[in-house]
Amino acid sequence: MTQNIAHAPTLRPTRPLSAAERDVFASHPCFSEEAHKRHGRIHLPVAPECNVQCGYCVRKYDCVNESRPGVASVVLTPAEAVNRVRAVVGRNGNIGAVGIAGPGDPLANEATFETLAAVGREFPELLLCVSTNGLALPDRLDDLVACGVRSLTVTINAVMPETAAAVYAWVSGPDGERLKGEHAAERILARQWAGLEAAVKAGLVVKVNSVYIPGVNDMELPAIAHVAGDLGAHLSNIIPVIPQARFQHVTPPTPVDVHAMRAECSQYLAQMSHCRQCRADACGLLGEDKDMESEALLSALGDDYEMAV
């Protein structure tokens, strides 16, 4: 996404921050435009299963040349993920955050919690974060807090059930059944808002991602920012839709459109303007991603070389 429009909405929290919240803004590249120039992040692709089918999402593997959410070269076990963190942190002294953002929904995968707990024990100085569709958030929030998660991104794309029904192909029901239409929409919206409110009360720094789909949910994006701001969210991130899957024929918003939408939403919630729509296995500084598998290999080669010497 182009980010060279003059006078873009500033990334500024709309209320005073606690010391813990300031620490997240100072160190997490996705929560601070200043931090993203100094601190990198690692996304650990340990969560392949999903409990929702978004109309714009295509989860994909073994695709090293494509950069978008839902894409990963490989799915790691928790043990492999911790090894990757060791390798990348050992080779890059600027890592500030370790997150799980897929390729599915992190909260639909037990490996998420095992990985977060293990990384937190070995690297307590790193911020732990998760990106979720919010469906399971009310049920798993306590588990996230117990693992040491300090920042959270919840993707919310609608306020009205009829709009959500157009965005989501299906949503998992309470017994694992696939709900569709407004029944699905009502379930996910209720749980997203309840989870967001609970996460704020639990002390997490919360960002709300909203995918901007022209002709589908564009009229509701300011309302999302308004409600999220009232519930205590810290940031809003308006993301232009990638034309694929159900929305493959949609013309995405232009950078000017995105800028105008952020300006409108900024009256309710501070806006992020440096998002790169990262892969589920992103590594390094935003916009300067490194291949995590190569970093791990180079780290191992370096260790072997030093031992031989």
Tens of pLDDT, residues 141-173: 999 999 999 999 999 999 999 999 999 999 999
Q: Which of 31, 33, 98 is nearest to 284 (CA)?
A: 98
Give the bridge partners for 261, in sequence order: none
Classify the phi-psi angles of 98: left when phi > 0, otherwise alpha if psi is within -120 to 50, otherwise beta: beta
The per-residue pLDDT for 65 is 47
User: For residue 207, what are the β-bridge partners?
Assistant: 153, 235
Looking at residue 212, what is its pLDDT? Answer: 96
Query: Distance (Å, rounded) from C-alpha 234 to C-alpha 42?
Result: 22
b (16+ CB within 10 A) / e for 28-63: bbbbbbebbeebbbbbbbbbbbbbbbbbbbbbbeee
Query: Under DSSP, is residue 10 helix (H, G, I), strand (E, B) or coil?
Result: coil
Judge whether 67 and 291 are in contact, CB under 8 Å: no
> Residues 251-298: pLDDT tens digits?
999 999 999 999 999 999 989 865 555 655 666 555 555 454 544 444
Least Cα distance to 81 among 257, 293, 273 occurs for 293
Q: Could you give the C-alpha distances from 127 to 59, 100, 113, 121, in angstroms and in order? A: 26, 12, 15, 12
CA separation (Å) from 188 to 38, 156, 283?
36, 9, 30
**Contacts (Cβ under 8 Å, ≥6 apart) of 288:** none
E strand map for 103-203: 127-132, 151-155, 168-172, 178-179
Residue 96, pLDDT score: 76
- Report the pLDDT value the prediction gives residue 301, as an integer from 0 to 100: 43
Q: At residue 302, what are phi and psi to the nearest 5 degrees?
A: -65, -45
What is the pTM for the complete model shown?
A: 0.80
| CA 135 and chain centroid, separation | 14
Residue 306 has a pLDDT of 42
pLDDT of amino acid 7: 33
Encoded tokens for 236: 């809003």
Longest dimension (CA), the chain: 66
pLDDT in tens, the chain (309 residues): 333 333 333 444 456 777 677 666 666 666 666 545 556 778 899 999 999 999 888 765 555 444 555 566 678 999 999 998 888 887 666 777 888 988 899 999 999 999 999 999 999 988 999 999 999 999 999 999 999 999 999 999 999 999 999 999 999 999 999 999 999 999 999 999 999 999 999 999 999 999 999 999 999 999 999 999 999 999 999 999 988 888 989 999 999 999 999 999 999 998 986 555 565 566 655 555 545 454 444 444 444 434 443
Q: Exposed, middle or buried: residue 230 (CB in 10 Å: 0-12, 13-18, 19+)? A: exposed
Catalogue all structural domains in the chain, each as residue range(s) with its CATH number. 19-303 (3.20.20.70)
Distant-in-sequence, close-in-space partners of 21: CB < 8 Å, separation ≥ 6: 13, 205, 234
Compute the mean pLDDT over every residue in the chain, rounded to the nearest whole number.
Answer: 81
pLDDT of residue 242: 87
Q: Residues 277, 69: contact at Cβ < 8 Å?
A: yes
